[in-house]
Chains A and B, each alone.
Chain A
């Protein structure tokens, strides 16, 4: 299996996502299967001269729009949809320790 329990915990921490202890074996197993499956991409010969250009669909260039003051685009403000909002600020718990 390519993904261990510790790998899942490390990735979950990067993704800011709680994974419950009893779900860990299943998550590790399914992630392993998905990553083993997509690993077939490495069977593709690496470009020898490094010139495979990446492909991005969409306009060739971003068109700038005029820098004009537009009307307020929202029908109502964040107080109506934020879990906690006070005097113009989103209210959050204390920052805690960032390791």
Chain B
């Protein structure tokens, strides 16, 4: 059992990262109270787990990194949080994130950008950048994040930690603030595969409060395998384009050699609709966001912005001033693609493409492939400000992660090397509800990969 004071001290020491939104004094008293009440028989007894600020907690405010929910205290908590507490974990504050989880750099938070733990000039990735930065800095063994298009795996890759996106329906989303409901999942960031996996195991399983959560038992953790004999691992050629960063390619090549050495059969495969994944995502996600974020109108939650003569003026002023630039942009794009005259050209097309992308995965898995191995991101962590004025360049950093969200399948990112001190992540994508197989391979690879060496 870690001492509540020591946990708080470590987190407070990481203040320079701007990764935690909970004030130090509040954090200390909450941790002390939780430690006194934690169940000593719980499987996560005493383990501090920070929670992304778009997941509702009773102890702390839930702002989603937005001014429109500044000071908002939820009257209920997420099922994932309830399960963590029941297992004896300590909820170690709320982590900074891109506003409403929209972003890939954690620069789009109303509460300031998060700093990369190894290089202050760079971004930690996003949108779960606060969670990734704290785990990467060694302040915590694990933290919750959320994924709509790669928001756990991409920052995990940038910060040199493990990030898991479970199968859609594996973890209850009750209490996760909705962004793109057909894509959203709560995920876990951990300093090792085991730390992330044991938190995932605790938060997984059925929940009568979420109709999209599958009626299944919690995930059972596999043991660390001696070898990967019998595993067939596919390398989708579309994920290794000629323009891939050479250091990322070298790290992937080495990881593939290690997978072969472990006994896995590795073969090239094709997911032919991959090139359409990012445009598909950037139609579907904003469309769903424009609908989900309609609820923030200055009437029921959060602050109300003045300067309105009537009800619609109140809506417009509150939403116009309460949302940041990226969220406003996505609401507008989402409203546009759903509007009369454009629905067929954009939204229906994107839905059809999504079906083809999901079919690509089924085709590969039906032909005897157990898992796919890919880079997590096309490059290591980029400089702060580098992609802020170019939304398309920012969106392209999700190119290898959005497909798993579109297809609803599980995926994990783990460190596989470094370049000039910056971590590089490798991704294993599994079949729906076969997280145990995916974790077995991740355990085995983690044990042999020199993750902190230059590759």
Contacts and interface: CB of A to CB of B under 8 A. Distances in A.
B300 A90 contact: yes
Contact of A11 (B168, B212, B317, B336): B336
Given A44-B349, A54-B351, A11 B335 contact: yes
Interface stretch (B40-48, B135-143, B219-227, B304-312): B304-312
A11 B300 contact: no
Contacts of B358: 55, 57
Contacts of A55: 351, 354-355, 358-359, 407
A93 B336 contact: no
Given A16-B312, A83-B303, A31 B333 contact: yes
B152 to A, nearest CB: 17
A42 interface: yes
Contacts of B345: 39, 42
Given A34-B282, A59-B169, A81-B301, A92 B314 contact: yes
B75 A17 contact: no
Contacts of B316: 16-18
Interface residues of A, number: 56
Interface in A1-37: 3, 7-8, 11-12, 14-20, 27, 30-31, 33-35, 37
A1 B36 CA distance: 61
A88 interface: no
Interface in B132-167: none
A19 B335 contact: no
B313 A93 contact: yes
B282 A37 contact: yes
Contact of A40 (B279, B336, B351): B279
Contact of B320 (A19, A52, A65): A19
B353 interface: yes
A14 B294 CA distance: 11
Contacts of B336: 3, 7, 11, 31, 35
A69 interface: no
B165 to A, nearest CB: 12
A18 B391 contact: no
A80 B75 contact: yes
A93 B211 contact: no
A81 B299 contact: no
B210 to A, nearest CB: 10
A63 B332 contact: no
A63 B331 CA distance: 31
Interface string B323-357: 10000110111011101000001100111111110
B58 A38 contact: no
B297 A8 contact: no
B18 interface: no
A74 B346 contact: no
B337 to A, nearest CB: 8
B321 interface: yes
Nearest to B212: A58
Interface string A75-93: 1111011111000001011
B350 A58 contact: no
Given A16-B315, A17-B323, A41-B346, A54 B300 contact: no
Contact of A59 (B212, B290, B301, B352): B212
Interface of A: 3, 7-8, 11-12, 14-20, 27, 30-31, 33-35, 37-42, 44, 47, 52-59, 62-63, 65, 73-78, 80-84, 90, 92-98
9 nearest interchain CB pairs? A96-B310, A18-B320, A57-B408, A83-B304, A74-B75, A55-B355, A57-B168, A38-B279, A18-B316
Given A15-B319, A17-B320, A44-B349, 5 more contacts: A3-B336, A16-B294, A41-B283, A59-B215, A81-B75
Interface of B: 58, 72-76, 168-169, 182, 208, 211-212, 214-215, 276, 279-280, 282-283, 290, 294, 297-304, 308-317, 319-321, 323, 328-329, 331-333, 335-337, 339, 345-346, 349-356, 358-359, 391-392, 407-408, 432
19 contacts: A7-B336, A8-B332, A16-B315, A16-B319, A18-B316, A33-B392, A34-B329, A35-B346, A54-B354, A57-B168, A58-B408, A59-B169, A59-B211, A59-B215, A83-B303, A83-B304, A92-B311, A94-B310, A95-B311
